[in-house]
Structure 1
Amino acid sequence: MNRFYPYVLKIAVISLFLLSLSISGNVSAFGEKEETARYFAQTSLDSQYISEMPVPKAVIKAIKKGEWVEISHPVPPTDVYINLDKDNKYAIDHQMNIYDLRENKAILELPDKAVHQLTKDMKKLYKIHYGDLITWNEANSALPRYSSFTVLDLDTGRTFEVQRRAGSYHADVQPLTNEDTKIMKEIYRGTWSWDRRAILILSQDHKYAASMHGMPHGKGALQNGFPGHFCIHFQDSITHKSRKMDHAHSIMIKKAAGEWLDHTEKLSPAEIVDATVLSIHQHDWFILASVLDDKNRVLLKEKVKFLEEIDLVKRLSDLPTDRDYDTKLYYPITVKLYIHRDKTGTESRQVTFQLYRGSIEEPWTVDLDNLIQQL
């Protein structure tokens, strides 16, 4: 055994040397372990579904040396964050501005090199985190009848198994087991609902963007404690009744594909109205904040409790379909809303959404203060 001792000693010394190189190689110029600096994507800060990537040195340096300015408005809605270490967590908006989540300050101008790196990294992170935007025809082929797959709810990160049973324009599916039904109902906070939710469909090695509702209806064939089936929509799916794509499902599909925040820049006044009604009905403040400007986001933060008292809101009248808003900066739309509060009951009323923008190049937004006064 003694003749092997020198070789064992040599191997041990070499191993320790390589380990020391590895450790020193992970320490950045700022004296931190670079492995602690991570991007992460998270659609909701309450979600268990998180995707991570390391942050390059150029971005770390830009943040460390960046010029912080005080801001008077809330952090814009975002789904991308940076942890430089356990004490420093920042948000990144889609204009590549950096926000301190503990203090009201931001870096609103980064070096071109850092912006280029951030833009490239965000695309890569989104590819990891979100689903592919596929049409109904593609989904119909990829997920044939009687195929089973996993549903991942983006806002909670919870998953359950389903089987597709039918559906000509969207997928009619059922939870596979009683346990899957239980998880789905917990995602809907214990009450079956028509509310739309952004989901990912996980099938084999693929991840697809989709939207589901949570209301059992029609027939069901599986012994799973679920009284019927529910629907999953993909891009270009249509409903049985309208034979049109449901706008609420469309919003959630874009959210599941990681496209919603960019898409808000192109929304028409009518689409802003629908997004506002949907977000108040579902208490989805991420969606509502994304169609508001800074001034109205401040108000939203103050009025969330008032809006949460609205248990149901539904549009009863049609929206305008013409494009006479193209050259305008102000555009009112009046619709009839069905509004229910558990405390005070139900009523129908005419509500005017005051939509405006600062210039023709800027996105439309809604006057939240004026709207709340009518609700």
Structure 2
Amino acid sequence: MRHLRFAFVFICLLLTLLIPEPSAQSAHAKSKEEITVSVSVSPASSFHSTLTFRAQHSFVKQLLRAKTVAAYVNPYWVRATLVVHNRYFLYDHDGNLFEKERPLQYMLGANLKQKIEDLVAKVESVHYAKATPWEQVKQTFGRMEYATVIDLETGERFHVQRRAGSRHADVQPLTRTDTQTMKKIYQGKWSWKRRAILVEVNGVYFAASMHGMPHGAGAIAGNDFPGHFCIHFFGSSTHKRKEPDPSHSLMIQKASGSLAANLIGASAEELVGYFLTALHEQDIHSLRMTTDGFPLPDRLAQVASIRKTEMVIPSDEKGPLLLEVPVHLTYFTRNNDERKEKWTFVLHRPVPWDRWRVIAVEL
């Protein structure tokens, strides 16, 4: 009897050593929960990059139980959307987390905030591309090389060939279908307005900017494109000026995901410059990123393009937290009327080390 009992105990011990503990595996699996992070260049963009991560249960528990305070998020300052337990959160460029459906801000500790920052940065590394200098880009994207253009607002893509250009890339759509796709991006009408794009050459992605106006000579037969168009990269310039074009620079910042960081570090005068450049391009989202969300004057909707601006150096008599920046400008309306006016921008920051925000425009 003793021998039988010993044999039974030995067999049970052997099975314990050979068979993995299912309870431990189940506990480990249950300790992980899904967090979905989505990134886009603007709230209205139909092109998103989304990744789902497996996070520790303790992290999710800590997130959902964080203290909340009443607050509203500026929708134009949103950086990413998070989904946890079917609850939607908005993460902004200041590192703040808000509940999407309710006016609540979650007060995050440094450790929790860093973990969310790391997740968002991983998705951004997929969605955006580096602002590689033009001198380096043209070593990869040489003359007669092919590339794919991806529009960051719509996700539409088409193929091009670089035919010329020294200060930037002069390119042409490859086929009639590529031309149709490009024209679709511009709502069926050719335009000089800039757009934030990614340019993929042999598996390498570059942040870039394009306009949508055929001009000059074209040499690809059958593509239905009367000429070529221009793609700018970081540090490239137009045919007429050696300095980078402000509008193309704005779009390259959008395509590299660096626009918000540049706005955070901008002086009051630089922020007004961003506002006016975005208005010239009718990029309302970028324009609104410079503000605190105040209602824009109705007359701004009449501006088709800005021809010239002259900024008056502001005084600091109102102190380090409030500033007025007067600007003399010439612009064209949608009816092609030319107007010369003086606008005064009012800017505010909560504390001297915080970023400036446009809080009013006096026309």
TM above 0.5, yes or no, is yes
Structure number with the higher strand fraction is 2
User: Which residue pairs with 1:357 in the alignment?
Assistant: 348
Structure whose CA Rg is larger: 2
1:243-262 → structure 2 map (5 Å cutoff): 243-262=242-261
CA contact (8 A) 1:197 1:252 kept: yes
Deviation at 1:41, TM superposition (A): 1.3
Moved more, 53-62 or 167-176: 53-62
For the 8 Å contact 2:88–2:100, the answer to whether it is kept is yes
TM-score where L is the length of structure 2: 0.83
Match of residue 264 from structure 1: 263
- Residue 84 of structure 1 aligns with an amino acid whose one-letter code is V
Alpha-carbon distance in 2 for matches of 1:148, 1:242: 26
Match 1:299 to one of 295, 300, 317: 295
Structure 1 runs of 4+ aligned residues shifted over 4 Å read 17-29, 322-325
Letter in 2 for 1:148: Y
Shift of 1:324: 7.9
Structure 2: any 5+ residue segments left out of the alignment? 1-19
Residue 336 of structure 1 is matched in structure 2 by: 329
Displacement of 1:333 in angstroms is 2.8
Counterpart among 121, 125, 128 of residue 126 in structure 2: 128
Structure 2 residue matching 1:151: 3-state secondary structure: strand
Q: TM-score, normalised by structure 1?
A: 0.81
Aligned partner of 2:108 in structure 1 is 110
Match in the other structure for 1:39 = 37
- How far the C-alpha of 1:309 sits from its partner, in A, is 3.7
Q: How many residues align?
A: 338
The aligned counterpart of 1:165 is: 163
Taking a change above 3 Å as real, the CA distance of residues 318 and 220 of structure 1, as seen in their structure-2 partners, is farther
TM-superposition CA deviations, 1:273-325 (whole Å, max 9, x none): 332223334332321221112xxx0424xx6xx367425031423446x8987
**TM-fit CA distance, 1:62:** 3.0
Find the partner of 2:143 among 139, 142, 145: 145
- Which amino acid is the alignment partner of residue 337 of structure 1? T
Q: Name the aligned partner's letter for residue 247 of structure 1.
A: P
SS at match of 2:195: strand
**Is 1:51 aligned with 2:44?**
no
Q: CA deviation at 1:55?
A: 5.4
Q: CA deviation at 1:334?
A: 1.7
CA shift, 1:350, in A, is 1.5
| Alpha-carbon distance in 1 for matches of 2:73, 2:160 | 42
Secondary structure (helix, strand or coil) at the match of 2:62 reads: helix
Amino acid at match of 1:299: P
User: Would you say the 8 A contact 1:355–1:364 is kept in 2?
Assistant: no
Task: State the alpha-carbon separation in 2 of the partners of residues 106 and 255 from structure 1.
Answer: 26
Question: Counterparts of 1:292 and 1:62 in 2: how far apart (Å)?
Answer: 32
SS of alignment partner, residue 286 of structure 1: helix
CA distance in 1, matches of 2:24, 2:180: 50
Q: Is the Cα contact below 8 Å between 1:270 and 1:333 reproduced in 2?
A: no
Q: Partner residue of 1:7?
A: none
Describe the shift of the 1:338–1:311 C-alpha distance in structure 2 as closer, same or farther (beyond 3 A).
closer
Structure 2 Cα separation of the partners of residues 339 and 26 of structure 1: 62
Residue matched to 1:91: 90
Note the C-alpha offset of 1:73: 5.5
How far does residue 151 in structure 1 lie from its aligned partner after superposition?
0.6
List gaps (5 residues or longer) in structure 1.
Answer: 1-16
Q: Distance in 1 between matches of 2:100 and 2:161?
A: 41
- Specify the SS of the correspondent of 1:156: coil
Number of the residue aligned with 1:310 = 302
Residue 135 to residue 65, structure 1, CA distance change in 2 (3 Å): same
In 2, distance between residues paired with 1:260 and 1:59? Answer: 30
